[in-house]
Amino acid sequence: MVVVHPALPPLPIRPEAWEWLQRSGVRVVVRDPTSRRGGGYWWPDRKLVDLFTAQEEAAIHELAHAWWHERRLQGTNAADLMVACVKLSEEKHPRYARARELARHYVYGIPTQPDPQSPTGWWMGMFVGGNGGGLDWEVYAGLASGVMGNLALLPPYIRRFYEELFDPPVRDLPPAEEIALRDGRRVAVRLADPDDAAAIWRLIDTVARERRYLRMPAADWGVEGEWRWLVGLEERGGFMLVAWDGDRAVGWVDIVPAAGLSRHTGELGMGVHPDYRGVGLGTALLARALDRARALGLEKITLGVRAPNAVARHLYERFGFVVEGEFSGQIKDGAVYENEVRMALWLGDRPPLV
């Protein structure tokens, strides 16, 4: 938070961003410090943020203009923002409802808002009706002030345009359980949140690149792909537990419920960072995941493990998992083939089978 003018409250601007704006010659003027009614201009030629009043929303809006003025001309930033705005207009996650509403206005217009300059008589948004040219900067500033600089209200594919301007989001995280590992280190285990995507993706990518434990050689879906998967996991009623050492994700376990006539089952996946193996973290994560699966009403947990991974198989067997089959040559890494062992655990009494 910084104070950019004595008449304004502290704004959620990064100190480094405000320093950059000042070094660039940007000035802030408030015409009427006694009013909060709003309005203002960004004058690029004068590098002036000209605020009619001391309204916080207007200040965020015009400072976003000032910040975006040069950056919109770098590479494909302007076009990338507009593409991301279209994606945002169809965003389904309820956390981003306010940003989605704004984006839909920018993309589809507002038929109930009169616009005498429009061929339809109503405001057609930022993309059509002659309004599209150069208006990425209005989209940028509008989204900034629409969420009042709160990055937690923007999904990652939009947030990335604002991360250097606004303060990091204040997150309402799920409660965590502290666990002592056998080597004396302590980690916090909690449910994953979609905003954890970057840290979780780095962890999964690290384990994948060992090419010994997972089915993929790298987590090539990237941070946005991980975020999408976490959002989808919530929607499907699944969960992921993540172990944290500070802000570093060091282990995970997830269970994804199946669909249709198999919806009583869930598929388990897990992994531990190389620096945290052999100290009881995998055991702790698996125990908590199975307890949670029982509480959710799942009856059977299934998983696949690469056949040479004897350590993982032993861990699963300790919890009662049994081998139900083996897929020959299911894993291929270069010229090397491995079998995949399918294991399962009934969380209660095994029912009679037909």
Q: What is the mean pLDDT of each run of 10 residues along the chain (354 residues)?
A: 96 98 97 93 97 97 97 95 96 92 94 87 79 76 97 93 93 88 98 94 98 94 93 92 97 97 97 98 98 96 97 97 97 95 95 81
pTM value?
A: 0.79
- Write out the residue limits of the CATH 3.40.630.30 domain(s) in the chain: 177-346
What pLDDT does residue 26 have? 97
What pLDDT does residue 169 have? 84
Distance of alpha carbon 310 from the chain centroid: 34
What pLDDT does residue 129 have? 56
What pLDDT does residue 115 have? 86
What pLDDT does residue 34 have? 94
Strand partners, 343: 303, 323
Strand partners, 340: 306, 327
Give the separation between CA 233 and CA 55, rounded to whole angstroms. Answer: 40
What pLDDT does residue 171 have? 75
Give the separation between CA 299 and CA 351, rounded to whole angstroms. Answer: 10
Q: Name every residue whose Cβ is closer than 8 Å to that of residue 133 and which is 6 or more positions away in sequence.
A: none
Burial grade of 110 (CB within 10 A; 0-12, 13-18, 19 or more)? middle
Q: 3-class SS at 182?
A: coil
Q: Does domain 177-346 have CATH number 3.40.630.30?
A: yes
Two structure tokens written together for 285: 């994560």
Integer CA distances (angstroms), 181 to 273, 276, 315, in order: 14, 9, 16
What pLDDT does residue 174 have? 83
Q: Which residue, chain included where needed, has tokens 């079998």?
A: 339
Integer CA distances (angstroms), 347 to 167, 284, 301, 338, in order: 45, 17, 7, 29
Rounded to 10 degrees, the C-alpha dihedral 246/241/288/290 comes to -160
Cβ contact 95:227 at 8 Å: no
